[in-house]
Structure 1
Amino acid sequence: MRTLAQIAQIARRTKFWSKPAQGTADYGPEGHGSFTRSLSLPDAEQLVHIPICSTTPDDEECARLRMLGQFLARQDRWSDLAAKIRMAEQGRSKTPGGMPVTDLLVFGARHDVVAAATHAIEDGVPSGAPALLSGIGGLEAVLSEHNTDAAIALIVASAHIDIGWAWRGSEAERDVAKHRRAAFAAHFDRASTILDKFNGVELNSPALAAARCALLPGLRDPHVRIADDYEDLIDLDPHNERHMRAMGNHLLPRWFGSYEQLELEARRTASRTQDIWGDAGYSWVMFDALANDAGACDIVDVSFFIDGLRDILRRRPGQVSANLLAAYCALSIMRHGPELPAAQEISACADWIIRDYMTELHPLIWAHAAEGFDNAVPVTSLSRFAAHGQARALGVLRDLFEDEIAQGLQIVFTPDGLQINA
């Protein structure tokens, strides 16, 4: 756990500017929008004190489960791995932070193959080269020995999906070379063929239903299926907000939907999950859509969205939620610029979230929020990425408490809440 004074030392060594270019992986602490005022770092480090949580028990558990999946795959203990996946699916097992255990095991099991293929693609290896085919070919051989096992099918299909994206790139609107698009389509077609033998709803498997939704970008006409496929998935696992966030992103016009459909499905999801999330179902569906598309800010019901943020904090209290929502409001939503009224109103929520709910700082959450939660942003150094998140959070806290700092008051985040002392 580090104090803000120590973070300030990191910030001094970090090159930063007031308005980083979107779509880059260069990191700087200054935000824009509601939090643009500037105080000196010495003032902040002397008067603002907050524990820094570089790693959490959830981070450690996620890493353990990924390594377990990887270990069992490397040892060819596929039956053991499949049994653990089935058990996790039926129990809807999650880490303390809410990550599905199935997803982590499946990720670890396919990681070696996907990583090798991705590196080969980045090095310009042709699509039919042995360096690209041997790994996925090995997984296909495993599938042929376990062709009725849905868990093994999920691993192999997920590997094809990942490799397909490595060929295409993750942006919705981009020109892709013909050979890359063909490779993407081939991997997605193969993943679809594998998964066609299994029905996630009939097998009570959110992971299979999620994989079906992940195949939407490879369909010729995904628009006719997106709402129904995601509705099935959310109904299978309504406690997992990641499904709602993914649906909202895919309902953007740049993918397979429209702003009108996004708003409609957000309201329908809120209604279906009211007993679990209150109004938060609406906010989760809108969450990434608002961060990724300024047009979504024109149709969002801001009051409904903010009520949903409050329900998230009521139903899932804790520092992961507090940091996620604070960073989202302070950084993610303002990436579009300060001129959008909806973004400004949502951004202002960072004030009460930080003051009323935060007791510690999670730098990686802030780093991801600064990039709009884009998982495709290249991170060559996790420590530098975390330092970027610390610096951005420092800038927000410094500006948020400008008036108190100007009066020489001490801003102290404690386990019992915020204290402001003379």
Structure 2
Amino acid sequence: MQPPDPATITRLLRRLPVMRAMRRLTGSGAPSLHDLDMLSRRIILPSMPITDEEMARAEFQDRGLRFARQEQWAELAEAIHDADAARTATPGGESAAMLLAFGARSDVVAMAEDALFDGVAPPQDGIDAFESILNDHPDDYALAMIVAMAHVDIGWAWRNAPAGAGSHAPEDREARFRRHFDRAAGVLAPHSGLAENAPSLAAAECALLAALSQTDRRISDDFEDLIDLDPTGSRHMRALGQTLLPARLGDYHTLELEARRTAARTGDVWGAGAYAWVYLDALALDPGALGLIDTVFFGDGLRDIIARCPDQHTANLLAAFCAISMRPRDDDPAPIARVRAALHANLRWILSDHLHELHPLIWTQALHHPGQTPRLPSRRALISEGRRTALRAIASIFADDIADGGSIAFSPAGMYRLPTI
């Protein structure tokens, strides 16, 4: 997804009640990015280039990588067992056990991804060395989960390899994808996330569902087991929503049904929040999911999420979703446009009541990688882009409040206006 161009910003502002302010500023009805950037200078909002969430993720991933490089497999398994048992998570709700496992397999997966990017088949020695770990620890689910997820990641790398990569035809790449997923399923077959009370293992079992060729009741059942094991883990609900998109393994009616079922089962934890979590990434990836969504229920879900997670990572995540993923589009049919506008409208109260610290990378991610937590290169440029995107979105919402030369400031006590000096 590309950053919004001037024409897109113009169309957005024409749907908002800020055109009066823009006309006062520019003397015309065609606001430019320059206008928004001028208004952005009147927004006082501290920016955090490095956040607690990023540091926590890096700490768990680096620990897993260190264990793997030093071949401390027993220590790595114990750390994953402990994290699963305690349901340890980052401030933003990412599973510590899954992050440890990701770090542990990252060298092997990166080697495969780099080879495929260069158009050659990945060397087998990395994954073969992982497989040998199972011979020494055949009964440990944590190590089996790491090996299985390495196969899953490499399988996805094959499926997503650039067209014409080396001599590998699309049929060959798909066959390699399925071969790795089949092997992952074989590795996990002796284990059960539900029986071992291990959410990370249950999440790995759900990751294997991607190899199914059609909708299967097992999808709902497996995700229900995972979410019941770890109901505080929002990432599981977001993954469910993505999996139920028509482009993957579901349909919009099943997505709506499972969002409501998940909300009903986790009401004591999230209120209506699970309904919003299930839909969050699905909506960002597929506008067709707007067709059945209950906008009032979704808005209640956003409020319940922030009430339970009043941290700035969550506030930025939900604000970026409303501002970027749900920004109005001229090509939407009228019914979808109304739904999108209703969801976009939640941005105002999130900004006014809850945001007091900008996390730029979340906004950059919403532009380029909705629904993912990718490894982002060129950090300084991405931080700058994320900050600029966020401030333009905020300026478009509050242009009437600052068009006379005043400013708005954000603090833990809420947003407030500073008069013209």
TM-score, length-scaled by structure 2: 0.88
Contact preservation (8 Å) 2:116, 2:161: no
Which of 57, 62, 66 does residue 62 from structure 1 map onto? 57
Structure 2 equivalent of residue 252 of structure 1: 245
Equivalents in 2 of 1:283, 1:359: separation in Å? 22
Q: Name the amino acid aligned to 2:152.
A: I
Q: Name the amino acid aligned to 1:167.
A: W
Structure 2 equivalent of residue 216 of structure 1: 209
Structure 2 equivalent of residue 23 of structure 1: none
**Deviation per CA, 1:176-202, whole angstroms, max 9, x where unpaired?**
801100110110000000011101000
Structure 2 equivalent of residue 164 of structure 1: 155
Query: How far did 1:333 drift?
Result: 2.1
Which of 194, 200, 203 does residue 207 from structure 1 map onto? 200
Contact preservation (8 Å) 2:276, 2:298: yes
Query: How far did 1:45 drift?
Result: 4.7
Equivalents in 2 of 1:261, 1:375: separation in Å? 22
Equivalents in 1 of 2:261, 2:373: separation in Å? 29
Query: How far did 1:95 drift?
Result: 1.8
Q: Name the amino acid aligned to 1:230.
A: F
**Deviation per CA, 1:70-103, whole angstroms, max 9, x where unpaired?**
0110001000110111011111011222221101
Structure 2 equivalent of residue 193 of structure 1: 186
Which of 132, 141, 144 does residue 135 from structure 2 map onto? 144
Equivalents in 2 of 1:294, 1:45: separation in Å? 29
Structure 2 equivalent of residue 304 of structure 1: 297
Structure 2 equivalent of residue 325 of structure 1: 318
Equivalents in 2 of 1:376, 1:349: separation in Å? 23
Pair 1:351–1:280, CA change in 2 (3 A): same
2:395 is the counterpart of 1:401: no
Which of 367, 375, 380 does residue 364 from structure 2 map onto? 367
Equivalents in 2 of 1:377, 1:71: separation in Å? 20
Contact preservation (8 Å) 1:31, 1:396: no
Query: For 1:199, what is the secondary structure of its paired residue?
Result: coil
**Deviation per CA, 1:136-168, whole angstroms, max 9, x where unpaired?**
011011122111111100110010000000000
Structure 2 equivalent of residue 292 of structure 1: 285
Equivalents in 2 of 1:239, 1:377: separation in Å? 22
Query: How far did 1:406 drift?
Result: 1.1
Query: For 1:419, what is the secondary structure of its paired residue?
Result: strand
Pair 1:389–1:170, CA change in 2 (3 A): farther
Pair 1:411–1:275, CA change in 2 (3 A): same
Query: How far did 1:17 drift?
Result: 2.3
Measured on the aligned residues, the alpha-carbon RMSD in Å equals 2.4
Equivalents in 2 of 1:42, 1:94: separation in Å? 37
Q: Name the amino acid aligned to 1:333.
A: M
Query: For 2:327, what is the secondary structure of its paired residue?
Result: helix
Contact preservation (8 Å) 2:193, 2:202: yes
**Deviation per CA, 1:36-86, whole angstroms, max 9, x where unpaired?**
955625632542111001111221121111111101100010001101110
**Deviation per CA, 1:267-326, whole angstroms, max 9, x where unpaired?**
111100111101111111111111111211111011111111111111111211111111
Which of 371, 384, 405 does residue 381 from structure 2 map onto? 384
Equivalents in 2 of 1:43, 1:388: separation in Å? 16
Which of 99, 102, 105 does residue 97 from structure 2 map onto? 102
366-375 or 102-111: bigger deviation: 366-375
Structure 1 equivalent of residue 23 of structure 2: none
Count matched residues.
393
Contact preservation (8 Å) 1:297, 1:342: yes
Query: For 1:334, what is the secondary structure of its paired residue?
Result: coil
2:273 is the counterpart of 1:280: yes
Pair 1:351–1:197, CA change in 2 (3 A): same
TM-score, length-scaled by structure 1: 0.87
Unaligned segments of structure 1, at least 5 residues = 1-14, 21-28
2:406 is the counterpart of 1:415: no
Q: Percent identity of the aligned residues?
A: 43
Unaligned segments of structure 2, at least 5 residues = 19-30, 163-168
2:259 is the counterpart of 1:266: yes
Equivalents in 2 of 1:274, 1:84: separation in Å? 30
90-99 or 115-124: bigger deviation: 90-99
Equivalents in 2 of 1:19, 1:118: separation in Å? 37
Equivalents in 2 of 1:85, 1:319: separation in Å? 27
Which of 121, 134, 138 does residue 125 from structure 2 map onto? 134
Contact preservation (8 Å) 1:328, 1:369: yes
2:11 is the counterpart of 1:18: no
Query: For 1:413, what is the secondary structure of its paired residue?
Result: strand
317-326 or 177-186: bigger deviation: 317-326
Query: For 1:225, what is the secondary structure of its paired residue?
Result: helix
Pair 1:65–1:283, CA change in 2 (3 A): same
Equivalents in 1 of 2:117, 2:230: separation in Å? 36
**Deviation per CA, 1:185-223, whole angstroms, max 9, x where unpaired?**
110000000011101000001111111110011134452
Pair 1:337–1:98, CA change in 2 (3 A): farther
Structure 2 equivalent of residue 345 of structure 1: 342
